[in-house]
Structure 1
Amino acid sequence: MSTQRVTQETFDEVVKENMEEFDMDPEDALREAVEQFVSQGVNLSFIVKAIPTASSDGKQEGKTHEVLHALESLRVGQHSGNMTAELKRFTDQCSLEFPQRYLAAQNGAYPVILSCCRKSLEDQGHLLVTLAALAVLTDGQPDLLDKAGTDLLLSILRRYRADPAVTRAALRTVRHCCLKHEQNRLDLVTAGVLPLMTGAICKHNRCAELVKEASVCLKIMTFDDDVRVPFGRAHEHVRLIVTQHSGLKVIIEAAKAHLDKIPVISELCITLSRLAVRNEFCQDICDLGGLKLLMTLLADSFEAQEVVRQSLCAIRAIAGNDDVKDMVVSAGGVQLMVVAMNVHMSNSNVCEQGCGCLSVLALRKPNNCQVIMDNGGAMAAIQAMKAHPGQVNVQKQACMLMRNLVAHTNNFSQPILQLGAEDLICEALRSYQEDCGDVCRAALRDLGCQVELRELWTGKKGTIAN
């Protein structure tokens, strides 16, 4: 995407010029301005593409965008008492698209909304409205959060910990402020947000929407997605969640309470998989009943693709522990995975996770490989490759599975080749040389097929070309 940008004022001036000097109607003037800037390689993702209007209440002079009218009403009237209607109007405008939120932030919306939040601390209903405005304003703009905002959010979470609605609204803002922002995550964790998240799940275990929001927040605390920092504290945050705040138990118990709610259980499975980063954590999940829960979900939710996919993802994560691999196989996990793939063969995400799960179970486990072969795991992987030739991750995981099946024994090479594996792997190699070339070559090599292995370095001394 182009880095060349223009200001909102420049864009609006061009639209105005098109209308006044070239006698265009508003829609044509707007379209012409957009086409003009795009043709020049200008990035318009921050620009509100609308015609400025006069204030609907007639109290503000001049024409500007509706979100700025709403902001000005808030700024002028924030000391006059109840501003619920104005806050809702502002929230609605910011909810339209990112450019509206960006324009509001560039015009000083954050301190205005933060001030409204402070004034609303004694009024639960009004606080909900102001938190909704703060949450939508920070969506995609985590840099807005400052120390005052961090302190205020923590104060609200502590003060209203018994109120699920306020807690959820505050956590939504926390979520927006932590996504792709390592410093905000670090500041909030240092300030004590983690026990407030796990505590919210425990205290409001039956409140599905709150459990989901808190689970997503915990998940985001395990991300390392801020390109501005060389490395994040994701692993340390996981350690704190698990060892100091009983995160695994909290997530598993919450999942047991929401087995019939697909969006909630899916998020809890994702979060659980994000916490399974250590061998002992994987074992702890099993000891707490997490594996049994995931197997139950997989067995009872074949019609719900998203639950199947996230259950497979979580099982794949905890099966990084070699002892857990055997527990999964002994519990009938292989059969369930193959059935899940066959039922949802048209879904590339399920096929990817299914192949990934079977691949992990087969790694360094010849006995598990036998179970996978006996239950049609290789055939399911072959079918997945045929069904999704355009999905590189499906191709990669299927090749990885076949490689792991034959890495420690040659017994399965011929049966797999008879299923047509060689042609499919070669096709994947040709199509995705960069993304999964090494995996494809390893699979072909271990299957006993002819493959050209690249010699990346011969070890010979040479000269350095200028």
Structure 2
Amino acid sequence: MGSKQIAQETFDDAVQENITEFEMEPEEAVREAVQQFESQGVDLSNIVKAVRQPAAENGQRQKHQILLTLDALGTAVAGSNLAEVAEQLEAFSEQCRQQLAFRSLAGQQGAYPVVFSACQLASGDRATLLKAFSTLAALLDGQPDLLDPAGQDLLLRSLREAGEDAELSLALLRCLRQACLKHEHNRQDLVRGGVLPLLTGAILQHGHHPEVVRAAAAALRVMTFDDDIRVPFGHAHDHAKMIVLENDGLRVLIQAAKAFTGNSGVLSELCATLSRLSVRNEFCQEIVDLGGLNLMVSLLADCIDHPEVVRQVLSALRAVAGNDEVKDAIVGAGATDLIVLAISHHLGNPQICEQGCAALCMLALRKPENCHIIMEGGGALAALQAMKAHPREVAVQKQACMLIRNLVSRSRDFSQPILEMGAENLITEARAAHKDCDDVAKAALRDLGCKVELRELWTGQKGSLAQ
């Protein structure tokens, strides 16, 4: 995608020129304008690709539909007409959800203050308030910069006051999640404002409401992201520690999971959040002690046909296996056979193959006894089958190579059986196809006993370094 940007007005003028100068039909004019700008490397993701209404008789330019709806909403808010506000919120929210370009244009034209005012105006009317926060969540999707300190305070205060109102809590949780995706400053401000106990509290308060639990877990998980490229470093690790140590996050999530054993959507979200919290050795052990490992193994067995649950459970197992003692507990619980089964069952799914190989790779690391169990369970063969099924997926190739290396690095007896499965050709192909695989593939081939050309990356020549 191109990195150049243009204004909506520039695009609209190009479309209008195609219609008036070249007598194109509206749809053709839009297509031609899109091709013209994309050929110049322009990013049109934030541009509304539609024909603007022709100018009025007085020469005044007409607006795109979403801006007309925004004007109507602004008028209703200014007149404190709650019935009209509710109607326009619904229309505006629906248009915002259609595509990023619509809400981006609205955001540039002052939509946030209008929606914020609607939230304040509707404070005494629950039905309208629900629509207002739902609209705010839609507007913030992909543009969290819009949220200001007053908006942060409003969200925190409203969530505190929501109490047992599950629907209102859900709308607020969705706002918080959108506000924090790829926005480190919002995350830090909201954490300082006390959002973490509100999120764990929402899970406890609405423990039998699946959508609220799912949304709260998703919001907690976003607090542990380091996805904002505008800041040199974030507080992801600190936030994860605060969730666990100050808000008993592991217990809250594991207890919540036990109430939704039949809901794959909630379970996958809870597992994804648990894996983000496994940032310290003792946290991994605590997950086991709280029954989290048994829960994951049961989930893997019971939900083997649900790819999203399988992927998230594998990711969580990979994360907690960072603790060497937990590795033994995972193997002792019979998880290795289930991981191999998951890879084989979902061989066409590259994400599951990647996470499955990564989990086995962690279990094999520094553990020769575990390597024997993985080999006996068909782990090496499953990894090689994954490599064969996904030759273009660098992540799958990399994790499979690392698993093979871990299996043979302390157990040379496995080299011959793995080579007989066709490992050398597959690893050599991965090395040739993916530059990122070169180091791990070379290490795997070396430990398998294959001939590998070792090249000096840097050599000293007359007091300087030459590559």
Q: Which amino acid aligns with 1:65?
A: H
Q: Could you tell me how far 1:308 is from its partner in structure 2?
A: 1.6
1:314-356 deviations in Å (ceiling 9; x for gaps): 1111011000111111111112212222222222222211111
1:182-228 deviations in Å (ceiling 9; x for gaps): 00000000000001000000110111111111111111100001111
Q: Could you tell me how far 1:446 is from its partner in structure 2?
A: 0.8
1:95-114 deviations in Å (ceiling 9; x for gaps): 11111111111111101110
Secondary structure of the structure 2 residue equivalent to 1:297 = helix
Distance across 1 between alignment mates of 2:295 and 2:164: 28
Q: CA separation of 1:29/1:377 partners in 2, compared to 1, >3 Å: closer, same or farther?
A: closer
1:415-459 deviations in Å (ceiling 9; x for gaps): 111111111111111111x21111101111111110012322346
Q: Could you tell me how far 1:62 is from its partner in structure 2?
A: 5.3
Q: CA separation of 1:21/1:315 partners in 2, compared to 1, >3 Å: closer, same or farther?
A: same
Distance across 2 between alignment mates of 1:139 and 1:92: 13
Which of 311, 324, 327 aligns to 1:325? It is 327
1:370-423 deviations in Å (ceiling 9; x for gaps): 111111111111222122222211111111111001111211111111111111
Q: Could you tell me how far 1:3 is from its partner in structure 2?
A: 3.1
Residue of structure 1 equivalent to 2:23: 23
Q: CA separation of 1:414/1:41 partners in 2, compared to 1, >3 Å: closer, same or farther?
A: closer
Question: Superposed, which structure 2 residues align to 1:8-407 within 5 Å?
Answer: 8-53=8-53, 63-78=62-77, 79-82=79-82, 83-407=85-409
Distance across 2 between alignment mates of 1:452 and 1:121: 70
Distance across 2 between alignment mates of 1:3 and 1:335: 46
Distance across 2 between alignment mates of 1:98 and 1:70: 16
Q: CA separation of 1:429/1:40 partners in 2, compared to 1, >3 Å: closer, same or farther?
A: closer
Structure 1 residue ranges without an equivalent (≥5): 56-60
Distance across 2 between alignment mates of 1:461 and 1:229: 41
Distance across 2 between alignment mates of 1:450 and 1:255: 49
Distance across 2 between alignment mates of 1:90 and 1:461: 69
Distance across 2 between alignment mates of 1:394 and 1:165: 40
Q: Which amino acid aligns with 2:259?
A: A
Q: CA separation of 1:164/1:429 partners in 2, compared to 1, >3 Å: closer, same or farther?
A: same
Distance across 1 between alignment mates of 2:417 and 2:2: 51
Which of 416, 422, 425 aligns to 2:418? It is 416
| Root mean square deviation of aligned Cα | 1.7
Residue of structure 1 equivalent to 2:436: 435
Distance across 1 between alignment mates of 2:380 and 2:293: 24
Distance across 2 between alignment mates of 1:72 and 1:230: 39
Aligned residues of 2:4 and 2:43 also touching (Cα < 8 A): yes
Aligned residues of 2:52 and 2:63 also touching (Cα < 8 A): yes
Q: Which amino acid aligns with 1:64?
A: K
Distance across 2 between alignment mates of 1:345 and 1:464: 45
Distance across 2 between alignment mates of 1:306 and 1:100: 30
Distance across 1 between alignment mates of 2:195 and 2:404: 44
Q: Which amino acid aligns with 1:98?
A: L
Q: CA separation of 1:461/1:176 partners in 2, compared to 1, >3 Å: closer, same or farther?
A: farther
TM-score normalised per structure 1: 0.95
Residue of structure 2 equivalent to 1:58: none
Q: How many residues are aligned here?
A: 459
Q: Could you tell me how far 1:21 is from its partner in structure 2?
A: 3.4
Q: Could you tell me how far 1:54 is from its partner in structure 2?
A: 7.8
Moved more, 397-406 or 349-358: 349-358
Q: CA separation of 1:459/1:252 partners in 2, compared to 1, >3 Å: closer, same or farther?
A: farther
Secondary structure of the structure 1 residue equivalent to 2:182 = coil
Residue of structure 2 equivalent to 1:454: 455
Distance across 2 between alignment mates of 1:250 and 1:438: 41
TM-score normalised per structure 2: 0.95
Q: CA separation of 1:389/1:161 partners in 2, compared to 1, >3 Å: closer, same or farther?
A: same
Distance across 1 between alignment mates of 2:13 and 2:389: 52
Structure 2 residue ranges without an equivalent (≥5): none
Aligned residues of 2:2 and 2:38 also touching (Cα < 8 A): no
